[in-house]
């Protein structure tokens, strides 16, 4: 279910943000904020997802965007469960730390964010959610961030490697390149992640995803010349995301990152 071939992640996936001006405010004079239920249709399938709009959102300014990939326990079709664990919880408790639009797609049951031979339907759906959000809201294309936990951490590593230069920064939490025995996939992904600002997190007693999986990625990226940041929580198990997302230092670092000017990235075709 989680395996990826070494060639699967050397593809380039399209992510488009609308260049059209933000739409006018609704007739009520206000734009709805909070966790908003949305749907989109892709390949004749309709997917439900959520977008968090900050209470002080205004279309007069360009807003950063965070794409959040949830873990395996939040897979489903309801469009809301993914807001109850991880970043959604942090927003409810500490929304002042996260002045951004947050796109929260939901992976279907028994599927993964990345397919066995490429992006796959769930990854394409997640990117489409970002694209649709950019059509409705005034988003800053140079401040698109990616984060995920557990299965979503796996998706964050993979999606960032498939789209080098597209995300301003990436925050994988208790993620992995592959579960089980290593096949060298981390070393294959690392050169494509070397220029991406990354801060990753893991608990050193994690029984679900061994901490060695993040350590392996960190070593590989640093060998490839990257400057990845890594926080390893001593004595913590799988759920390190609550602590991570509640840390003001993370958000200060994240929002300081900005995608390089066009023509200086590392996107490959």
| Structural tokens at position 205 | 């007693």
Name the fold adopted by 34-256.
Answer: Rossmann fold (3.40.50)
> pLDDT tens digits for 30-85?
799 999 999 999 999 999 999 999 999 999 999 999 999 999 999 999 999 999 99
CA-closest candidate to residue 146, choices 65, 264, 259, 256: 65
> pLDDT tens digits for 215-227?
999 999 999 999 9
Encode the chain (269 residues) as per-residue pLDDT tens digits: 333 333 344 444 444 444 444 554 443 457 999 999 999 999 999 999 999 999 999 999 999 999 999 999 999 999 999 999 999 999 999 999 999 999 999 999 999 999 887 789 999 999 999 999 999 999 999 999 999 999 999 999 999 999 988 999 999 999 999 988 888 999 999 999 999 999 999 999 999 999 999 999 999 999 999 999 999 999 999 999 999 999 999 999 999 999 987 544 444 33
Per-position b or e across 136-173, b if 16+ CB within 10 A of its CB: bbbbbbebbbbbbbbbbbbbbbbbbbbbbbbbbbbbbb
Beta bridge partners of 173: 149, 201
Contact 35, 213 (CB under 8 A): no
Q: Where are the domains of the chain?
A: 34-256
């Amino acid at each position: 279910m989680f395996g990826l071939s070494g060639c699967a992640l050397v593809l380039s996936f399209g992510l488009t943000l609308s260049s059209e001006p933000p739409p006018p405010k609704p007739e009520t004079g206000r734009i709805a904020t909070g966790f908003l239920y949305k749907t989109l249709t892709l390949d004749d399938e309709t997917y439900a997802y959520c977008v968090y709009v900050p209470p002080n959102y205004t279309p007069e300014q360009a807003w950063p965007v965070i794409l959040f990939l949830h873990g395996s326990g939040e897979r489903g079709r309801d469009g809301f469960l993914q807001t109850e664990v991880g970043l959604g919880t942090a927003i409810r408790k500490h929304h002042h730390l996260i002045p951004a639009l947050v796109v929260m797609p939901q992976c279907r049951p028994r599927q993964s964010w990345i397919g066995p031979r490429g992006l796959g339907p769930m990854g394409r759906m997640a990117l489409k959610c970002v694209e649709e959000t950019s059509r409705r809201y005034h988003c800053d294309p140079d401040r698109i961030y990616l984060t995920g936990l557990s299965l979503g951490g796996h998706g964050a590593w993979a999606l960032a490697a498939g789209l080098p230069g597209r995300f301003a920064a990436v925050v994988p939490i208790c993620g992995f390149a592959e579960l089980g025995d290593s096949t060298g996939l981390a070393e294959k992904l690392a050169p494509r992640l070397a220029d991406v600002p990354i801060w990753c997190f893991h608990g050193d007693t994690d029984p679900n995803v061994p901490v060695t999986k993040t350590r392996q990625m960190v070593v590989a990226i640093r060998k490839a010349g990257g400057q990845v940041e890594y926080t390893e929580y001593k004595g913590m198990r799988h759920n390190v995301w609550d602590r991570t997302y509640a840390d003001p230092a993370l958000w200060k670092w994240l929002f300081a990152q900005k995608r390089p000017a066009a023509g200086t990235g590392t996107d490959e075709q």
